[in-house]
Structure formats: C-alpha cells, structure tokens
Amino acid sequence: MRERTSAGSTFLPFGFFSSLTGGSGGDPKGRYEAVSPMAPRKYGDKTYVELNMDDYAEGLRLSAGDDDEDNSKMRRQSSGVGQFFDQFYPREIRRNRRTYERIILLGLTIVVLVLLFSGGKSGSGRPSMLEKAKMRGARRKNPLRSNIPLHSFRANLKDGAGYVTSFPYGGLTNQLIEMFKLVHVGQRLDRTVILTELKATQSEGGDVLPSEFFDLDSFAYYSNVSLVQWKDVKIPDITGTQPEELSCWGWRDERPLARYNVKTHFWPFPGQLQVPSSAETSITFPGIEVLASQDNTPWLKESATRLHGSLDNSPPFPDKQLLCFENLFYVPSVKFVDGSLDKTYSIQELRPDGPVWDNVGRHLRFNSHVNHIADELLAALIGSRRKQYIGVHIARGNSTGRISQETVDAFKAGVKQVQADLTKRKGGPKGHLPVLVATDSDDPVFLSKLAKLGWIYINHGEWATRARFGGWYPGVLDSVVLSRAIGFVGTKESSFSSIAARRVETWNGGLSRVLQ
C-alpha cells in the first residue's frame, strides 16, 4: 500500500462513509471489508473524521481476486461502495449481485422505452408520453386576440387572420363527417377552424362540445390546423353579450349561434359552383377555394333582388374574414377512375384513400375520459379491455326496427369470413374471437337470434349507460368499442359503419367488410 500523504487527505463528517475506508479492513485476498469508524477529530466546533483520499480511491478500484475455495478462477471484485452493500446480501446473492443489478437496469430501461414509444397510435386512442411531449412542444400560437372568450366574437378575431366555421346537424356520426370536411377546408384555405357544439337529437339531451368526447389537442396537432371552439371565441350568454350578425353560405337557417347572441343569415352558393350531391345541392372542395378567393358581389346582388326584393332589404353579404357554411356534410369527395366519376362510396361513406379521412378523420381520437369508461364496459362484456374481438354494426334500415333472418344470415357469413381472414394472417388469432354487436334495433326476437349465435350484444339498458353518463354515451361508447376491434362487419351506406370500418383498418391494422 502506498505511503500516506497529507495531500490526499480530506475531512468528512463524523461516521459518514467511515465503513467504506481501507486501512486495516483489507483481507488477504485484497478486498476491502467494512471497518470500524475512524477516530474523530475536532475542527472548530464540529467533529470530523479524516479520510485519506488516496487510500479511498485505491479502495474503489476493482481488484483481481478469487473467493472460490480452490482460488483457481479470476473474477471482478466489488468496489468499496459495493462491498458496503454486500454485507446486507446473503453470500449466494452477493456473488451475482452485479449480474442482478444489470438485469434490473436493463429491465427498467426497456419499460421506460416502451412507455415512451408505444401506445400513441392504438385503437384506444391514447397518445404516448413522447407524443404528448411533441404536442406540448409544438403548440401553435393562440389564433385569437384573447386567451378568454369575449363579449363580441369579432373583437376576438385577429386582423389579417382568416377563420372558417360551419354548423353540423343529424346524428353524431354525420356531424363528425361534417367536422372532418370543415377541418379539411381549413387545411386547404389555411384558416383557423372554429368548431360549434354537437347538436343533440331528442334522445340525447342538450348540445355538447366536441371536447366532451374527443382529444382536440392531438386532433389539431396531427391535422396540422389551428382549431378552437366557439366557446373559446365568445361567451355563450344571450343577455350579457353584444348582439351580432354573421352571414354565411348555405340555405337552412336554424339559428345555430343563438346561444352566443349571434343572428345568422344564409346566401346560396354561386350557380356555377353548385353541384348535385345526394339529396341536396352542394359545392366541391375546389369550388370552396374559388368561393373564398373570387369576388362574389355580382352573384350576391342578383340573389338579393331575387330573394329579398332589393339590395336594401337583404342581410349583409357573407363574411370574408370568418368564412361560414350552413353544413358541409354533402360536399362530395370527387374521384375519377379511367375517366369516369367513381361512385363506389356514397355521401354517407368516407373513402379510405380520400383526404377527408386520410388527412383529417383518422386523427380524431377519443379522450381519456371516454376511453376509461370504454375500458370498464369491455371488462364487463368480455373480461378484459385488451382481449381481441370482432365488432359488428347492424343497422335496422327501416322504421319498423325489425331485421330479417336473411340479414342475420348475411352477417353470420361476414363474421365467419373476417374470422378466417384474420386467422390466415401471420401472428393472427388461433381460435374464434368474441363478437360484440352494436345495433339500433331493440327487437327482442332479433336480439335472441344474436344470443343464439353466441354474439354479445352491447346492452346499454342493462349497463345503465344513459342514466350513469348521459344521453350521448350509448352511441359514443358503441363507437369506441367498435373502433377497438381487430375485425369489423358493418352495414352498407351507414355513416356509423363507415367510420367504424375506417378506424379498425387505420388504427388497428384490422379487416372490415360492409354488407347490403
């Protein structure tokens, strides 16, 4: 051992690391064993122990040695710090402590990496921690003047900035499709999107904000748009806010902004931009771009005379800063195949390769609150939220609520085919998967047929969904459950089935079939 030198000495508080020092604690094999505390020394009004740092450094080195009885093998020895902890381990564990520590460290590293990089694009719609960090770091600037809603919506719009809004109606899924198309317009025109409330039907109760069910932060981030809700722009109060007017494009005026003390007016699209679409006349996405960029004054003056008798009697022309539409559900996604218009998908269905789904709809995921409720529902239905299953949506298709035996047989064959196709996949399920069914039919005869097939009906009456969570939640939870399936069989020309099929394919890499 080297000569002790004063240069290598330092002072530590009495008793601290005293058992880690060398000195008389060395054994014949060169290992440093725990020793008694060194004698204390006075330094001022405190008591210290002098520790020779040269000896301490030497003690921390890994020494060659062997604690096997025959001393025939060489192994790495524990450092002084390691030997301090060795005294608390049994001998058989102490020998392999370094191996155990490495295994534990490797396991912790793997767990952290899994938490960071997994879970963001799963059927549950839960973004990973890494994705959440990305969204926080890439937050857009507030597109409004104020961080709080004001008494006037116009006072909250920034000068030189463009905005777009619309007013959906119909069932929840139709309103979502309309929302996707609105956001796509915002993408094309580089305008901030202002979302209004989801409009309730009689069975659902009151109107609700989209953020009640969906993660709008991730939706805006992945869709690459600025997005706010009307409640962020103006205080929803009829009596305590400034009365305002807003002129929009469209036909039907159902006073969609009445709760914000805003009176709306509607003007028809210019004739050259109108196109027939399903049951209504609408406009195409390129037509909307033309509408937003051209001077529409001649058409508006002509319409004022035709609709209101004179220009003086007409409401204000459509707003240019806040581009406003009655409803965008009937805006078609036009695609030509071999020179002919592709009519494979109806207006109620989203093309899987179209920009409305591919650039927008796929990014609207359910929020954590809705996902937690869906976890509870799946645990009640099939015992676990992680178990794979096939989802089925059977729309009744008529006012009687009855579904024929032929329809049941067709869905049975469809499920069998999806099950077979999944089994053929590499790593696919080996046995038969559970089948969960959502339907708007409450016909007991039909439901008994599903039970005989061994299929599980999502019974919200039995689960008291409406009483526990509200009138919107039966439809919302049906959507979540179907979206998590690995296979799906749905109803042709049903917007509900169309969205479910797209989610299963895109979110889970699953298979889907739609039946007439």
pLDDT tens profile 386-426 = 999 999 999 986 555 578 899 999 999 999 999 999 999 98
Q: Is residue 253 part of a domain?
A: yes
Q: How many CB atoms lie within 10 A of CB 351?
A: 16
**249 & 168 share domain:** yes
Confidence of residue 122 (pLDDT cuts 50, 70, 90): very low
Q: Rounded CA gap, 226 and 5, in Å?
A: 69
Q: Rounded CA gap, 127 and 144, in Å?
A: 27
Residue partners of 3: CB distance under 8 A and separation at least 6? none
Q: What is the mean pLDDT of the chain?
A: 83
pLDDT of residue 5: 46
Half-sphere exposure of 181 (CA within 13 A, CB side): 29
Q: Rounded CA gap, 462 and 68, in Å?
A: 68
Q: Is residue 483 part of a domain?
A: yes
Q: Is residue 416 part of a domain?
A: yes
Q: Rounded CA gap, 451 and 453, in Å?
A: 5
CB 83 within 8 A of CB 95: no
User: Is the pLDDT at 164 greater than 60, yes or no?
Assistant: yes
Averaged pLDDT for residues 128-157: 80
Structure-block tokens of residue 101: 């520590």
User: Which residue type is seen at 246?
Assistant: L
Q: Rounded CA gap, 161 and 443, in Å?
A: 53
CB 394 within 8 A of CB 403: yes
Query: Among 12-16, 214-218, 295-299, whose mean pLDDT is lowest?
Result: 12-16
Length of the chain, please? 516
CB 66 within 8 A of CB 29: yes
Q: Rounded CA gap, 110 and 105, in Å?
A: 9
Half-sphere exposure of 89 (CA within 13 A, CB side): 16
CB 456 within 8 A of CB 436: yes
**388 & 442 share domain:** yes
Confidence of residue 127 (pLDDT cuts 50, 70, 90): low
CB 345 within 8 A of CB 448: no
Confidence of residue 145 (pLDDT cuts 50, 70, 90): very high
pLDDT of residue 459: 96
pLDDT of residue 250: 92
Helix (H, G, I), strand (E, B) or coil at 96: coil
Q: Is residue 114 part of a domain?
A: no
Confidence of residue 428 (pLDDT cuts 50, 70, 90): confident
Q: Report which DSSP code applies to 167.
A: -
**185 & 330 share domain:** yes
Confidence of residue 21 (pLDDT cuts 50, 70, 90): very low
Helix (H, G, I), strand (E, B) or coil at 323: strand
Domain that holds residue 457: 380-515
Share of the chain above pLDDT 70, in %: 74
Half-sphere exposure of 81 (CA within 13 A, CB side): 5
Q: Rounded CA gap, 444 and 463, in Å?
A: 17
Averaged pLDDT for residues 16-31: 46
Averaged pLDDT for residues 359-363: 97
pTM comes to: 0.76
Confidence of residue 438 (pLDDT cuts 50, 70, 90): very high
**403 & 491 share domain:** yes
Query: Among 301-310, 390-399, 451-460, whose mean pLDDT is lowest?
Result: 390-399
Structure-block tokens of residue 509: 């890499």
User: Is the pLDDT at 16 greater than 90, yes or no?
Assistant: no
List, in sequence order, every residue forming a beta bridge with 511; answer none if it has no partner. 487
**31 & 163 share domain:** no
DSSP letters spanning 4-17:
P-GGGEEEEETTTT
The CATH number for 464's domain is 3.40.50.11350
CB 455 within 8 A of CB 392: yes
pLDDT of residue 102: 76
**254 & 329 share domain:** yes
Averaged pLDDT for residues 14-25: 44
pLDDT of residue 323: 98
CB 304 within 8 A of CB 372: no
**235 & 327 share domain:** yes
Averaged pLDDT for residues 308-329: 94
Half-sphere exposure of 498 (CA within 13 A, CB side): 22
Q: Is residue 452 part of a domain?
A: yes
Residue with token string 């777009």:
164
Q: Pick 251 or 189 by higher pLDDT.
A: 189
**192 & 283 share domain:** yes
Query: Among 115-119, 306-310, 413-417, whose mean pLDDT is lowest?
Result: 115-119
Query: Among 66-80, 216-230, 263-277, 403-417, whose mean pLDDT is lowest?
Result: 66-80
Confidence of residue 191 (pLDDT cuts 50, 70, 90): very high
Backbone φ and ψ for 292, nearest 5 degrees, come out as -75, -20
**215 & 355 share domain:** yes
**352 & 399 share domain:** no
User: Is the pLDDT at 95 greater than 70, yes or no?
Assistant: no
pLDDT of residue 11: 44
Q: Is residue 447 part of a domain?
A: yes
pLDDT in tens, 41-51: 555 555 555 55
**196 & 290 share domain:** yes
Helix (H, G, I), strand (E, B) or coil at 224: coil
Radius of gyration of the chain, Cα coordinates, nearest whole angstrom? 34
Averaged pLDDT for residues 283-295: 95
**342 & 402 share domain:** no
CB 476 within 8 A of CB 367: no
Averaged pLDDT for residues 201-209: 83
User: Is the pLDDT at 135 greater than 70, yes or no?
Assistant: no
- Among residues 329, 362, 395, which one ends one of the domains? 362
pLDDT of residue 113: 72
CB 33 within 8 A of CB 27: yes
Q: Is residue 302 part of a domain?
A: yes
Query: Among 21-30, 242-251, 410-419, whose mean pLDDT is lowest?
Result: 21-30
Confidence of residue 53 (pLDDT cuts 50, 70, 90): low
Averaged pLDDT for residues 212-229: 97
- Among residues 362, 389, 413, which one ends one of the domains? 362
Q: Report which DSSP code applies to 157.
A: B
Domain count, the chain: 3
CB 321 within 8 A of CB 158: no
Averaged pLDDT for residues 476-490: 98
Please choose, from the candidates 381, 439, 377, the residue with its C-alpha nearest in 3D space to the C-alpha of residue 408: 439
Helix (H, G, I), strand (E, B) or coil at 267: strand
| Residue 35 Cα distances to 352, 397, 453, angstroms | 73, 86, 75
pLDDT of residue 14: 44
Query: Among 88-92, 98-102, 244-248, 400-404, whose mean pLDDT is lowest?
Result: 88-92
User: Is the pLDDT at 66 greater than 50, yes or no?
Assistant: no
User: Is the pLDDT at 491 greater than 50, yes or no?
Assistant: yes
CB 36 within 8 A of CB 43: no
Q: Rounded CA gap, 32 and 45, in Å?
A: 32
User: Is the pLDDT at 502 greater than 90, yes or no?
Assistant: yes
Q: Pick 106 or 242 by higher pLDDT.
A: 242
User: Is the pLDDT at 74 greater than 50, yes or no?
Assistant: no
Q: Rounded CA gap, 179 and 167, in Å?
A: 9
Q: Is residue 461 part of a domain?
A: yes
Residue with token string 């060395």:
26
User: Which residue type is seen at 114?
Assistant: V
User: Is the pLDDT at 155 greater than 90, yes or no?
Assistant: yes
User: Is the pLDDT at 490 greater than 80, yes or no?
Assistant: yes
